[in-house]
Amino acid sequence: MASHALVLMCPPVHFAVDYVINPWMQGQLGQADRRRAVAQWQALRVVLAMHADIVEIAPEPGLPDMPFTANAGLVLGRTFVPSRFRHAERRGEEAAFSRWFEHEGFDVRALPGDSLFEGAGDALFDRAEPRLWVGYGHRTDLAAVSALARVLHVETIPLALADARFYHLDTCFCPLSRGHLLYFPAAFDAAARAAIEARVPASRRIVVEEADALAFACNAVNLGNVVVLNRAGATLRIALENAGYRVVETPLDEFLKAGGSAKCLTLRLDEVLPVSAGRL
Ligand code: ARG
C-alpha cells in the first residue's frame, strides 16, 4: 500500500550540545560528533523515505537543536500551531519554523494566551480515536492543553510528566497506527496513568521497560505498520511484532546526547484526525 505520510526533517549540520536544558545534555557539552550525527541522521532519513515523503527545512547556524523538528509546533490539516519554547536557547527556532510554514501556505495560528508549548514533542494525536494527548509539566504548560483544544477543535487529554529524564511526551509515549500505545508508565503521575488506562484497554497497551525507555524506544516513528526507533530489546521487539508491527532499529546515539532520538527528528505534516471506529 502506498504511503502518503509527509515528514519534515532538518539536516543536523549545525547540531551540537552547546547548552544543558535536559538531563541528557548534562556532561555532554561539546561531546556530540557532528559527522557521526549527520551519518546517523542520513541513515534515519533513508529508512523513513521508504515509507514517507521527506521534506527538509534549511538548518540555521546558532540553533543546534533545530534538527528536532518535532518541537517546531503541531500540524493538523493545514493549520500549524507554532511552539513557544520554555528555554531561551531554543526560542530562535520559533521564527525560523514559522517562516517556513507560512511560506508553505499553512494557516499559522499562535496559541491564545502566553502558555509555553513545545509542539509535537508534547502533543501526540491518537491513531485510533480523534483525540490529542498532551504532556505537560517540564516544557509545555497545563494551560496550553485547553488552548490547543480551542484552536484545533479536538479533545485533548492532559498527561502530567513526572520524571525529568522524560521531559517531552514523545520520549515516553507513542500512539501506534493499529490502536496500540507504546509507553513507559513510570514517566507519568498516577492521574495520568489512570487517564491512559481509562482510554486504552490493557490489551492495546505495550509497556516499555526502563532499559528500553532509556534507549528512547518510545521515541519511535510509526509509519503504517513500521516502527522505526533507536533500539528495542528482544522482549519489546517481540511484543511489537505480536501486535502486528515491523521494528526497524537505526542507531541515533549522537542525538541521545542532546536528549532526542528518531521521533524528535521528525514532524508529520499530514496529520488528520482518525474517524472514531473503535479500536481493532
Ligand atoms: N535538546 C533538545 C531539548 O532539550 C532535545 C529535543 C528533543 N525533542 C523531542 N521532541 N523530545 O529541547
Mutate to test the pocket of ligand 1, among 26, 69, 71, 170 (most ligand atoms within 8 A of CB): 71
Name which residue sits closest to atom 8 of ligand 1, judged by CA: 264
- What distance in angstroms lies between residue 232's CA and the mean position of ligand 1's atoms? 20
Confidence class of residue 280 from pLDDT cuts 50, 70 and 90? very low
**Helix (H), strand (E) counts: the chain:** 7, 15
For the record, the C-alpha cell of 167 comes out as 521531559
Per-residue pLDDT at 253 = 98
Mutate to test the pocket of ligand 1, among 22, 124, 171 (most ligand atoms within 8 A of CB): 22
Euclidean distance between CA atoms 43 and 154, whole angstroms: 35
Q: Is the pTM of this model over 0.80?
A: yes
Mean of pLDDT over the chain: 96
Euclidean distance between CA atoms 107 and 83, whole angstroms: 14
Q: Flag whether pLDDT at 279 surpasses 60.
A: no
Per-residue pLDDT at 278 = 52
Read off the pLDDT of each residue in 83-101 and give the average, rounded to a whole number. Answer: 98
Q: Flag whether pLDDT at 276 surpasses 90.
A: no
- What distance in angstroms lies between residue 277's CA and the mean position of ligand 1's atoms? 33
Question: What residue ranges in the chain does DSSP mark as E strands?
Answer: 6-9, 53-56, 73-76, 79-82, 107-108, 123-125, 131-136, 155-160, 173-175, 181-183, 205-207, 221-223, 226-229, 246-249, 267-268
**Which atom from ligand 1 is nearest to the alpha carbon of 70?**
10
Per-residue pLDDT at 4 = 77
Residue type, 59: P
Q: Which residues line ligand 1 (CB under 6 A)?
A: 21-22, 65, 68, 70-71, 90, 121, 168, 170-171, 258-260, 264
pLDDT by residue (tens digit) across 102-147?
999 999 999 999 999 999 999 999 999 999 999 999 999 999 999 9
Q: Which residues are CB-contacts of 46 (< 8 A; sequence separation ≥ 6)?
A: none
pLDDT by residue (tens digit) across 154-210?
999 999 999 999 999 999 999 999 999 999 999 999 999 999 999 999 999 999 999
User: How high is the ipTM of this complex?
Assistant: 0.98
Q: Are 59 and 67 in contact (CB under 8 A)?
A: yes
Cβ atoms < 10 Å from Cβ of 215: 21
Confidence class of residue 1 from pLDDT cuts 50, 70 and 90? very low
Q: Flag whether pLDDT at 3 surpasses 80.
A: no
159: region left, alpha or beta (phi > 0 left; psi from -120 to 50 alpha): beta
**Which atom from ligand 1 is nearest to the alpha carbon of 167?**
11
Q: Which residues are catalytic?
A: 168, 264
